[in-house]
Structure 1
Amino acid sequence: MDLMSINYYYRHRLYGTVSRLTTTAATIDPVAALYKALSLSNLGHVSEALQILSTFLMQSDASIACIKASIYAHNSCQVVDREAVSNFEDMLRDKLKNNRSSRSLYLEALYLYLIGDNDNAISAAETSLKLEANSSKVLSLLGWLNLDLKKIRVAARYFVQALQDKENSDAGLGEIHCINPIDGLTKINKLVVRHPKEMVPIIHKMELLLNVRQWDTLADTILRASGIDSTNISVLQIQALKHIIDGKYEEAVPVLEKLYNELEKQESKAWWLFLDNISLFSRICGGNVKIYSCLEHYAKSALRVCTVKESPKVLLEVGHLYYLWAKQLYSQGENDNEIRERLKLAEGNLRRAANSDESTRSLVFLIMVELVYKNSIRKQIYDQLDLLSGLGADRDNPEFSLAKVLARAVTDHDTIVQILDKAVTAQQAKSSATKYGIPYLISLDPQFLVDIAAAYPKTKTGEKHRIRVLMLVVETIPGFINASLDLGRAHLAADQLDEALNIFEHVTSIDSNNPYAYLLQAQIHIMKGDFEKGRNILDIGLANNLQIMEFAKYHLLLANLAKFRNNYEMTINELKQAITMNKGKNGLTLEELSELYLDLSAAYMKTKKIKEATEAIKEARELLSGTDDTSVVTIAQARLSLTNGDIRGALSLLSSVPKGNPFYIQAQKEKADIYLNELQDGVGYSQCYQALVEADPTTENLTMLADAYMNIQESELAVQTYEKAMSTNADDNKLSCKLARVFVKCHQYSKAIKAYKNSGEDGSLELAELLLKLGQPDKAEQALTNLPLSRKAITLAKIYEKLNDFPKAVSTLREATSLQHSIDHEWSAKLYRQMAVYCTSQRDYKQAIDLYKKALHYTPNDSALHIALVKLYMQVDDWSNCEDACKAILSREPENEPALLTTADLALRRVDLPSAMKHFSSILDRRPDYWVALARLIEVCRRCDKLDSALPYLQMAKEKSGGHSSPGLSYCKGLYEWYRGDTQAAVASFNSARTDAEWGPQAVYNMIEISLSQNGTNGGATTAHRLLAELKPRGEDEENTIGLVEGFIRLATGDKSEIERAIIDFTSLANSDLLRVGASLGLAMGYVEQNQMSRAKAVLKRVAKLPWSLEEADYLERCWLMLAEIYINSGTQQAAQAQDLLNRVIVHNRSCIKAFTLLATLATKENNYQKAVEHYRQAWRLSGESDPSLGYKLGYTQLKNKQYADAISTCQRVLQLHPDYPKIRKEILDKALPRLRT
């Protein structure tokens, strides 16, 4: 017989298991007989117990123990056989007269230990030990006895002595109980190896792993134990427990069902085992109704077999189970009849318990049952609480404390916090005496702690205490999903967004179908302004659980996303859908409902639907009547007044929101916005935030006031206010960072650096960025020393970029990606994206494309990444992939502007000018002030010879900008005027955009081009040189571009030495891939100036065969024109080549005056005057009929072609604009007039 296993199962009251294991041994071994008989007695099988004991009544060593066990068995009967007991007592007296052996005393001590009489058992065992000093069994028994009495050191000493017998595994198990669990695991592993087929060592190993919370090892051990005996009750219990700790409720249910079936088979009379499982699993299952339903079977079995004496305990626990079940159903908004049925069962069992027991716990729970329906709070509940208080129920009774708060018998927030804190402390004290495990979890009662946490008031202090209690629950049961959700919400209420986000991500890692976690994650991302991430989370949630669409909050969040995109029609539709879905467990909180109606009325106002906005406000007033949230209606009404132009009325309404109202802060903010944006009243604006501080001088309100001062350029007041806020919360690193940012804006860099240093790790990244801007990369790197690479990688790479060490920058980011198991997908995407940027700057495009694809693996819906990849495809002329990528983006986001722009750019690059024009027009119809698209449209219209088609879009852009000429608009206007031939107006417009960071550089380049086109005058070159000096290059590419333009300026001077210098510079730049065409043009122009036509021709022929690209279009077209001109001037032999080049120019640019002029020249040389007239007329029209030399050529050709009337008309037009151009009168007009008469 294995005493270790028998003793273990008996200690855990698995009497049926003990009876089975001792069946054979009990007939020959009195130790086994005592275990089996007492187990049977405890299960109510007294006659069987007596029969087993009868075998040993006459055995000298066993008789006394067996007689006492027989008396115990008789006394355990409901009807005691007094005569039999009297006979056994007479026998006992006779036996006690004889001398006792060590074994006799040991068996008596064992009997006393098994019935719980530890003091007498120790006395008998110690006497036995005196007779046989080294008895391993006696020493082991003394160890267990002292262990039960919490005399750990004494017990350990006995176990160590008993272990001199190497075969005494029972003592080995006892010794493990006396040491810490970590050391115990080492020893239990040896026992597991020695007894590979025994369940007890491996079961105890699972218990130790529970103690130290080694979840992964526990899972492996459960698997191994199940392989040995899949029906073992202890294994099944721990397996179910592990599933629930992991939050895998669906997997726990079948294990609990199997555990119940095994209890019915193996321990059907052990009501306490059924009860223990109810106590454990009902308190940790997170309100899972399937588990409650399963536990109902346990409850029925416990009630069926429990004794009358123990029934109050069972009734109380069963009543508590039904109470928890009803409460959960109520919170989920389930069927009312179902809830009331559970409440009725709870009340019935609790009343029976109260009638059978003097304890007040059942009466407290009866009050809790009544409080499930909040509207059932009546005066009689207060009377019951007073009565129970008189009976002493309020002394160290956490349940009474919670009932008191839930019944609203206490209303003061500070008092409520004190009462609930005391309840939590009392609850923790109950469990403090035990290690983490099953008894600990029952004593701690995590579900009760969750209920306490929910009862804290919704104040800053209340949220702080709520977080503390819920963190205890989540640390205890990591998979307690409801507690995790509540903890995340508490963090959210306390504005701890990152902490909340971590909690909700933890929930989705446990339960990928949980809709609440996805909705709350998306809400946080939207609150942080990360709308793309919010959208992605909602998509992931929908993919995992389609029922998320049935939540009103889902549609509220979609409305927020639509509002961000200024799509107010969709906002309205989603908000109306949210109202439709606002019911039951999927409904909105009062606060969310308030937000909904605010947004709905605002969206109606944005779409000029004033009647609908008024209706929405009216509906909100009815719904929110009688609550603090009625102030939402006031705010909405104020917005409506503002929309109608009643500024003072809006301010009056907002001023009516009283201090202390939950929406007071929002009302003050909206008042402030009106003062700033409508009345341009900075004083009134700041006074709104001053009022907040006066009402409640918290750190948050002081921070808002400081931010307000910054918005009206009151830097000194902002600094003072931030410092005051710091004095109220010196340890607030985020506030210290804010103060540092203000110092940066004020250019007080030394103070900023000091503030960043005081902000700990939070400010280290920003400090490094500042030091980098100040040109101190070494100090910047030093500032990042204490940060992990996963946080500092991108900033560190920027430092290496500043030091021009691009390989090290890339290797740093690559090393950080190896840590991606510890960071989120978004961060991994950022790392790969930055590497791609560096590779692009080093022209390693293939590697850059691969890196962008890796980034998209982590954030597949990141539009910015897709656009970056699209631009790279375009840069390497991979138009097919570029087009596919654009289509993919637009299939998800039909209005994605960069993708639409790229699609239009693709059409332009393919020289599909009608399609390009259509695409750009479509973009501008949606957003007239999209300056990049407008500039492109003007370019396309010019190349299509439809420049006037761009004019309506320019007008729309002007109207959109409200009369304010933004740099983008000025640039586009200048471009249009330049292409129209009005260079003076173009220069004025470009000059307006000249100082802008985005449009300024290109505006300056265009002004230089215009200056150089002024007939190559030296004055133009001087102006161009002065303009060029304004440009500040950022990087090698920009330096080379400036060098190229400087070469053209040198050519324009006409100075021989400057031309030679330009040729040297162009020769150097011609090796650059990016500037090869422009440099070749300059080189050819220089050779022409030196009259080296053959060299010019050779240079131009090399680049003439290059494919057309948008970036080099102007330079390449000028090369084609120049080469064509050389061909024309060299004679008729190369006329075909010239014709081909000029046609190529016109295909790409139908507005090219020079191309049509040269075609006319070519036609004239061929004596084809009709064709020459057509080409000259086209050139004359494109010049705006303003170039007198072109007018002369047209008139002369018309004269030669005998089109005298047309020639006269052309001459009159030229003379009208240029009266001082007499050459045309003498040589054409005077000759055409007489010929027209004849």
Structure 2
Amino acid sequence: HSVLPDEAIEVYEQALKKNPKDAALASKIGKALIKTHNYSKAISYYEAALRSGQQNFLCYDLAELLMKLKQYEKAEKVLQQALDHEPVNELSSLMEDGRYQVLLAKIYSKMEKIDEAIVSLQQARELQARVLKRAQIEQLDAIPAQKQLAAEICAEIAKHSTAQRNYEKAIKFYKEALVHCETDNKAMLELARLYLAQDDTDACQHQCSLLLKNDEDNEAATMMMADLMFRKQDYEQAVFHFQQLLERKPDNYATLSQLIDLLRRAGKLEEVPRFLLMAEKHSSRTKLEPGFHYCKGLYLWYTGEPNDALRHFNKARKDSDWGQNAVYNMIEICLNPDNETVGGEVFENLDADISNSTEKQESVQLAVRTAENLLKELKPQTIQGHIQLRIMENYCLMATKQKSSVERALNTFTEIVVAEKDHIPALLGMATAYMILKQTPRARNQLKRISKMSWNPIDAEEFEKSWLLLADIYIQSAKYDMAGELLKRCLRHNRSCCKAYEYMGYIMEKEQAYKDAALNYEMAWKYGNQMNPTIGYKLAFNYLKGKRYVDAIDVCHKVLEAHPNYPKIRKEILDKARASLRT
């Protein structure tokens, strides 16, 4: 860069002596010195100019320079001196003081003195109200810029209030910002976020709609609308908003991964492939993108293909954006590839001969070892992230089913709950440990606690698992109505929940309502992508009982095609159904 020769600065200074009130000129000299990175000289120039008592307006430039140089105390002093005067009434002086207060607030927030920052902003807001009143009479052309500043002041107060978790106050000031400047997209978005955090879905929806009127491509608002519709369980509308985003940007994998979760909850996983195809057509690079592999992995996991899902997650696992989530999902698949109810006992006895085989036990040990190695790759950045990691480590300990390990896990989960009493993943961990240790009443108490809490999207998986485990306990003690209520709740939040349909089928079967049992097993079979031989077996069995022999034979063929070594379906159902058809 060019260093300004001292003569040039001298020329400025000579001119300034002739005309000491020339603000623009005085400002130019200071800016010239800053441009040459001659900061100490700039500071002494400003201080000298201020001492002469002529150029008060230079306070702002000096304070801003000191702030940039991180000399916050000095900057604060300069502004406090500038503000230390008799009350003013002139429009230009009011404007000047307003600017000083806004800058002072900025300096306070850099010093992390949030309360002082808010006080300065409140004073700036009062000055600005007077400025706006006077400008209406004296200086109409200044109004738009002054309104903009008023809106910015309110938004700053709101931002600080949000950080202090004073949401009521934050809402009040974002609303005021919008009075000054009704098309302020950022304020609208923040206001919508606050309404959502307070669970005021109608107000949130209203803000988002206004925002999308101004700016129909606003991604954050579209996402929030989708989230709202999702919370209201209007899955069709939610999907519609996501679809709009993806048609504009098919390779927006963050949106795509949320859409896949949404379609699962809406019971419409069959619609996912067309979005994956849209992303593939969009670019030749798609097949190399970690985000794409992550989305593909999710889809395969949700449709009962855990091994293929692992392959795709593995391709995303080294990525800085997708890696952590991919690793977590890989660990979950290792620990529970068939999505069973861990700790549940209803289906244990049915598959006892399989689960006790040495082959099965060896594969469990291998899976736990793989999961433990994957855990070492996780590098959480937040406090919540560290807790999530501890929880996963202890789920690994439980998967071994060894008493001492399960007890160790139980202790850790209990510690987390003592520190944070409504921590759902830890409460579910406690309940699962109690079930493995055969202490059902204790497990039931923890699960009842969870069932009384209100659902939230962050803990959605854990809510579902705890409702299923509690339903399992109720079924064990033949409390079918109570179990049914919980299963309906699972399906309200996730229409693809195979396990819920499977338990419903089991209850109907126990009550010898074979037709209804078959209907529920059909749903479990459909949403499990016709992959799970146990469900196929139960469906075929209930078809047989309901005298639907042809349907029973069809299902048997599908099971045997995928699992030729699933012998009991052949002799217990297929042969019987064929015999019945002949008679």
| Same structural fold, with TM-score higher than 0.5 when normalized by the shorter chain | yes
Contact 1:797 1:809 in 2 (8 A): yes
2:278 pairs with 932, 952, 956, which one?
A: 956
Q: Distance in 2 between matches of 1:834 and 1:1148?
A: 33
Aligned counterparts, 1:1078-1117, within 5 A: 1078-1117=425-464
Structure 1 pair 928/812, CA: closer, same or farther in 2 (3 Å)? farther
2:297 match: 974
Structure 1 pair 792/830, CA: closer, same or farther in 2 (3 Å)? farther
Structure 1 pair 811/1058, CA: closer, same or farther in 2 (3 Å)? farther
Structure 1 pair 960/1219, CA: closer, same or farther in 2 (3 Å)? same
Q: Distance in 2 between matches of 1:1074 and 1:955?
A: 44
The superposition leaves residues 528-572 of structure 1 with CA deviations (integer Å, 9 ceiling, x where unpaired) of xxxxxxxxxxxxxxxxxxxxxxxxxxxxxxxxxxxxxxxxxxxxx
1:838 match: 163
1:542 match: none
The superposition leaves residues 1047-1102 of structure 1 with CA deviations (integer Å, 9 ceiling, x where unpaired) of 32222221222222222232333357795332222221111111111222222222
Q: Distance in 2 between matches of 1:1151 and 1:1191?
A: 16
Q: Which runs of 5+ in 2 are unaligned?
A: 40-61, 80-101, 129-145, 343-363
Please report how far the alpha carbon of residue 997 of structure 1 lies from its aligned counterpart in structure 2 after TM superposition: 4.1
Q: Distance in 2 between matches of 1:1075 and 1:955?
A: 41
Matched, 1:811 2:115: yes
Q: Distance in 2 between matches of 1:1023 and 1:733?
A: 59
Please report how far the alpha carbon of residue 1043 of structure 1 lies from its aligned counterpart in structure 2 after TM superposition: 2.9
The superposition leaves residues 427-464 of structure 1 with CA deviations (integer Å, 9 ceiling, x where unpaired) of xxxxxxxxxxxxxxxxxxxxxxxxxxxxxxxxx99xx9
Structure 1 pair 1213/765, CA: closer, same or farther in 2 (3 Å)? farther
Contact 2:212 2:221 in 1 (8 A): yes
Aligned counterparts, 1:1219-1238, within 5 A: 1219-1238=564-583
Matched, 1:1045 2:349: no
The superposition leaves residues 448-486 of structure 1 with CA deviations (integer Å, 9 ceiling, x where unpaired) of xxxxxxxxxxxx99xx99x979x98xx89999xxxx9xx
Matched, 1:1128 2:453: no
Q: Distance in 1 between matches of 2:289 and 2:454?
A: 36
Structure 1 pair 735/1078, CA: closer, same or farther in 2 (3 Å)? farther
Between the two proteins, the alignment pairs up a number of residues equal to 482
- Rg larger in 1 or in 2? 1
Q: Distance in 1 between matches of 2:289 and 2:565?
A: 40
Aligned counterparts, 1:1133-1212, within 5 A: 1134-1212=479-557
Please report how far the alpha carbon of residue 856 of structure 1 lies from its aligned counterpart in structure 2 after TM superposition: 5.6
The superposition leaves residues 793-832 of structure 1 with CA deviations (integer Å, 9 ceiling, x where unpaired) of 658746x7xxxxxxx5422532552574699557646743
Please report how far the alpha carbon of residue 991 of structure 1 lies from its aligned counterpart in structure 2 after TM superposition: 3.1
* Percent of paired sites with the same residue: 35
The superposition leaves residues 610-640 of structure 1 with CA deviations (integer Å, 9 ceiling, x where unpaired) of xxxxxxxxxxxxxxxxxxxxxxxxxxxxxxx
The superposition leaves residues 135-169 of structure 1 with CA deviations (integer Å, 9 ceiling, x where unpaired) of xxxxxxxxxxxxxxxxxxxxxxxxxxxxxxxxxxx
1:703 match: none
Amino acid corresponding to residue 1197 of structure 1 in structure 2: N
Contact 1:1180 1:1187 in 2 (8 A): yes
Aligned counterparts, 1:1013-1024, within 5 A: 1013-1014=336-337, 1017-1024=364-371
Amino acid corresponding to residue 236 of structure 2 in structure 1: P
1:916 pairs with 238, 247, 251, which one?
A: 238
2:207 match: 885
Contact 1:1041 1:1075 in 2 (8 A): no
Q: Distance in 1 between matches of 2:381 and 2:412?
A: 20
Structure 1 pair 929/1073, CA: closer, same or farther in 2 (3 Å)? farther
Contact 2:159 2:170 in 1 (8 A): no
Please report how far the alpha carbon of residue 733 of structure 1 lies from its aligned counterpart in structure 2 after TM superposition: 5.2
Aligned counterparts, 1:718-757, within 5 A: 732=35
1:1011 match: 334
Q: Which runs of 5+ in 1 are unaligned?
A: 1-459, 500-728, 737-759, 768-780, 801-807
Structure 1 pair 734/997, CA: closer, same or farther in 2 (3 Å)? farther
Contact 2:104 2:117 in 1 (8 A): no
Aligned counterparts, 1:412-451, within 5 A: none
Q: Distance in 1 between matches of 2:397 and 2:36?
A: 57
Q: Distance in 2 between matches of 1:733 and 1:947?
A: 62
The superposition leaves residues 958-1000 of structure 1 with CA deviations (integer Å, 9 ceiling, x where unpaired) of 3334424434333322222221222233223333333444433
Q: Distance in 2 between matches of 1:908 and 1:1203?
A: 38
Aligned counterparts, 1:224-623, within 5 A: none
Structure 1 pair 909/731, CA: closer, same or farther in 2 (3 Å)? closer
Amino acid corresponding to residue 1025 of structure 1 in structure 2: E
The superposition leaves residues 214-252 of structure 1 with CA deviations (integer Å, 9 ceiling, x where unpaired) of xxxxxxxxxxxxxxxxxxxxxxxxxxxxxxxxxxxxxxx
Structure 1 pair 975/885, CA: closer, same or farther in 2 (3 Å)? same
Please report how far the alpha carbon of residue 929 of structure 1 lies from its aligned counterpart in structure 2 after TM superposition: 2.8
Contact 1:833 1:855 in 2 (8 A): no
2:269 pairs with 947, 953, 964, which one?
A: 947
Contact 1:1124 1:1139 in 2 (8 A): yes
Q: Distance in 1 between matches of 2:332 and 2:255?
A: 22
1:93 match: none
Three-state SS of the structure 2 residue aligned to 1:1070 is helix
The superposition leaves residues 1181-1212 of structure 1 with CA deviations (integer Å, 9 ceiling, x where unpaired) of 21121111222222222222222222222222
Q: Distance in 2 between matches of 1:882 and 1:1042?
A: 33
1:929 pairs with 233, 237, 251, which one?
A: 251
RMSD: 3.9
Q: Distance in 2 between matches of 1:1219 and 1:1137?
A: 38
Q: Distance in 1 between matches of 2:320 and 2:516?
A: 47
Please report how far the alpha carbon of residue 1011 of structure 1 lies from its aligned counterpart in structure 2 after TM superposition: 2.0
The superposition leaves residues 919-955 of structure 1 with CA deviations (integer Å, 9 ceiling, x where unpaired) of 2112222232333332222112111221121222222
Structure 1, 1092-1101 or 1151-1160: larger mean CA deviation = 1092-1101
The superposition leaves residues 111-158 of structure 1 with CA deviations (integer Å, 9 ceiling, x where unpaired) of xxxxxxxxxxxxxxxxxxxxxxxxxxxxxxxxxxxxxxxxxxxxxxxx
Contact 2:162 2:170 in 1 (8 A): yes
TM-score by length of 2: 0.72
Please report how far the alpha carbon of residue 1114 of structure 1 lies from its aligned counterpart in structure 2 after TM superposition: 1.6
Structure 1 pair 987/1088, CA: closer, same or farther in 2 (3 Å)? same
Q: Distance in 2 between matches of 1:967 and 1:784?
A: 44
Contact 2:505 2:520 in 1 (8 A): yes
Please report how far the alpha carbon of residue 896 of structure 1 lies from its aligned counterpart in structure 2 after TM superposition: 1.6
Q: Distance in 2 between matches of 1:1219 and 1:1115?
A: 34
1:518 match: none
Three-state SS of the structure 1 residue aligned to 2:543 is helix
Structure 1 pair 839/1224, CA: closer, same or farther in 2 (3 Å)? same
Contact 1:765 1:792 in 2 (8 A): no
Please report how far the alpha carbon of residue 1152 of structure 1 lies from its aligned counterpart in structure 2 after TM superposition: 0.6
Contact 2:155 2:187 in 1 (8 A): no
Structure 1 pair 764/1198, CA: closer, same or farther in 2 (3 Å)? farther
Q: Distance in 2 between matches of 1:796 and 1:1031?
A: 37
Three-state SS of the structure 2 residue aligned to 1:953 is helix
Structure 1 pair 761/734, CA: closer, same or farther in 2 (3 Å)? farther
TM-score by length of 1: 0.36
Please report how far the alpha carbon of residue 1151 of structure 1 lies from its aligned counterpart in structure 2 after TM superposition: 0.6
Amino acid corresponding to residue 814 of structure 1 in structure 2: I
Contact 1:941 1:947 in 2 (8 A): yes
Amino acid corresponding to residue 269 of structure 2 in structure 1: L
Amino acid corresponding to residue 980 of structure 1 in structure 2: T
